[in-house]
Chains A and B, each alone.
Chain A
């Protein structure tokens, strides 16, 4: 039988992360710095609230857009944290993670052939999601020299008459890059001039370090009406498995996204939604505790990487560092594979996040300090053996 998979699906390359995952899975005693989720379990008060909701028998469907109470909590939270006001009844959609919200937004917006710009290295799902939604994915490279921020001249150069959407993710997975309010003003002006719609994935926004405040493009003049603000509970609240994210956008766009969501998904799971209310209403302390822990580990891992002679920016957000590995004379993939096979430390080759990730690897510090310490010792030994002089 010829299983005739659709061309546009067949043509999507396998994920580099998946390839790597399969190698790691066959090995024992590996310390993994390749994990893109918190090592903390969801804070107990959130789990406990979810158990309570389950005990009360809250096990059914919810309205398509999500529990009204959760949408109110999201509205308040986004107002308090980001200074943005969204109407709970018409401008907020609760999704199965930010992942689904990205897919919904792209599918709701793109006509075949519309171009979508995104900065790279970036989260692995962006380019495939754009392609699957019928769009044309166009990467804008970011560089270590600019601390991987998005340069306005690079954006201007990339815009064409076919460009409809710009996707953003700051703090960035995998580089930990952040943007300042001043940088956003410039980017926003280009978006307004070229009438671009912006999808901004804010999933790491709470994990901003050094007492810095996160700033979002959505608050720039002329932006809210052209922005889909995407956020979720996976990272900041350590709730990856609950699968709750949300989109905030002008009502007509939410309405369009809802059409897809209601037929494809129906609604996000109620258990996760009940837990999310507790998290957003009373989770601030827990987030602060985890952020403090990540910040300390970041200091530790950046110090250790620099000590072994690797160039490494100190990320202002996320839980990733993206050191340069040029001094080893190896390309990202070879570096990662040999580090894994010879020293049992898993890092993710930079190229998994797009070709411009070459020459880098991603190390996650969402792992306990004990493990990070051992991983750094092993990695130092490996780097010491592979020095081009």
Chain B
């Protein structure tokens, strides 16, 4: 399938993964079967890794905490950062784990049921890994925008109901 169509399908999935596939087909001037098989292919090839809901934590499970943690590690002689990053990423608490440039090496995002659990994860799991030199933990206080979605919605601008 043409690259532009794949791009367009990915764009629509990122905007709203739940959009009915028939609507996608209509928007992109494609056959429903084409869209379905394109998405199946994206999934099978691991290009689309999954679909998730964006939750407003001020409205649900408000006890849950999110920590953004900077981690400085000593790279290994034979594995670089990858092996140790993979080890950290495997913890269930870790939602995201990135290797980054700058003053530290890994940026990880941790979700925990409450503050105590988050602190325990850092103190007992993360900091005790041999290669971890230092961590700096930032707790999320409020979310304004997440994965492109705003937590406070602007109302749609008003327009005249009919205009030339």
Contacts of B11 on A, CB cut-off 8 Å? 292
Q: Say what secondary structure dominates the interface of chain B.
A: loop
Say whether A386 faces chain B, with CB atoms less than 8 Å apart.
no
Say whether A245 faces chain B, with CB atoms less than 8 Å apart.
no
Q: Please determine whether B162 and A125 come into contact, CB atoms closer than 8 angstroms.
A: no
Q: Please determine whether A300 and B159 come into contact, CB atoms closer than 8 angstroms.
A: no
Which of A16-24, A55-63, A136-144, A184-192 is near enough to bind chain B?
A16-24
Query: Please, which residue of chain B has its CB at the minimum distance from the CB of A296?
Result: B27
For A5-48 the 0/1 string (1 means CB < 8 A from B) is 00000000001010011001100001010111101010000000
Q: Please determine whether B159 and A30 come into contact, CB atoms closer than 8 angstroms.
A: no
Contacts of B27 on A, CB cut-off 8 Å? 296-297, 299-300, 369
Compute how far the CA of A161 lies from the CA of B75 in the bound complex, rounded to whole angstroms.
Answer: 85
Indicate which residue in A20, A39, A123 contacts B162 across the interface (CB closer than 8 Å): A20
Q: Please determine whether B161 and A300 come into contact, CB atoms closer than 8 angstroms.
A: no
What distance in Å separates the Cβ of A5 from its nearest Cβ neighbour in chain B?
Answer: 22
What distance in Å separates the Cβ of B34 from its nearest Cβ neighbour in chain A?
Answer: 14
Q: Please determine whether B163 and A39 come into contact, CB atoms closer than 8 angstroms.
A: no
Say whether B46 faces chain A, with CB atoms less than 8 Å apart.
no
What distance in Å separates the Cβ of A19 from its nearest Cβ neighbour in chain B?
Answer: 10
Compute how far the CA of A300 lies from the CA of B25 in the bound complex, rounded to whole angstroms.
Answer: 9
Q: Please determine whether A303 and B26 come into contact, CB atoms closer than 8 angstroms.
A: yes
Query: Please, which residue of chain B has its CB at the minimum distance from the CB of A39?
Result: B159
Contacts of A20 on B, CB cut-off 8 Å? 162
Q: Please determine whether B28 and A15 come into contact, CB atoms closer than 8 angstroms.
A: no
Say whether B164 faces chain A, with CB atoms less than 8 Å apart.
yes
Q: Please determine whether B26 and A35 come into contact, CB atoms closer than 8 angstroms.
A: no
Given contacts A41-B157, A299-B28, contact A36 B23 (CB under 8 A): no
Compute how far the CA of A20 lies from the CA of B11 in the bound complex, rounded to whole angstroms.
Answer: 37
Say whether A197 faces chain B, with CB atoms less than 8 Å apart.
no
Q: Please determine whether A300 and B23 come into contact, CB atoms closer than 8 angstroms.
A: yes
Given contacts A37-B159, A39-B159, A296-B28, contact A123 B23 (CB under 8 A): no
Please report which residues of chain B, range 110-158, place their CB below 8 angstroms from some CB of chain A when the two chains form the complex: 154, 156-157
Say whether A304 faces chain B, with CB atoms less than 8 Å apart.
yes
Contacts of A292 on B, CB cut-off 8 Å? 11
Q: Please determine whether B26 and A32 come into contact, CB atoms closer than 8 angstroms.
A: no
Contacts of A369 on B, CB cut-off 8 Å? 23, 27
Q: Please determine whether B23 and A37 come into contact, CB atoms closer than 8 angstroms.
A: no
Q: Please determine whether A32 and B23 come into contact, CB atoms closer than 8 angstroms.
A: no
Indicate which residue in B29, B156, B161, B164 contacts A32 across the interface (CB closer than 8 Å): B161
Subset of 19 A-B contacts with CB under 8 Å: A15-B164, A17-B162, A21-B161, A21-B163, A24-B161, A24-B162, A32-B161, A34-B161, A34-B162, A36-B164, A37-B160, A41-B154, A173-B164, A299-B27, A299-B29, A300-B26, A300-B27, A369-B23, A373-B23
Q: What is the interface of chain B, defined by CB distance below 8 A to chain A? A: 8, 11, 23, 26-29, 154, 156-157, 159-164
Known: A17-B164, A36-B164. 20 other contacts (CB 8 A): A15-B164, A21-B161, A21-B163, A24-B162, A34-B161, A35-B159, A35-B161, A36-B163, A37-B159, A39-B156, A41-B157, A125-B164, A173-B164, A296-B8, A296-B28, A299-B28, A300-B27, A348-B162, A369-B27, A373-B23
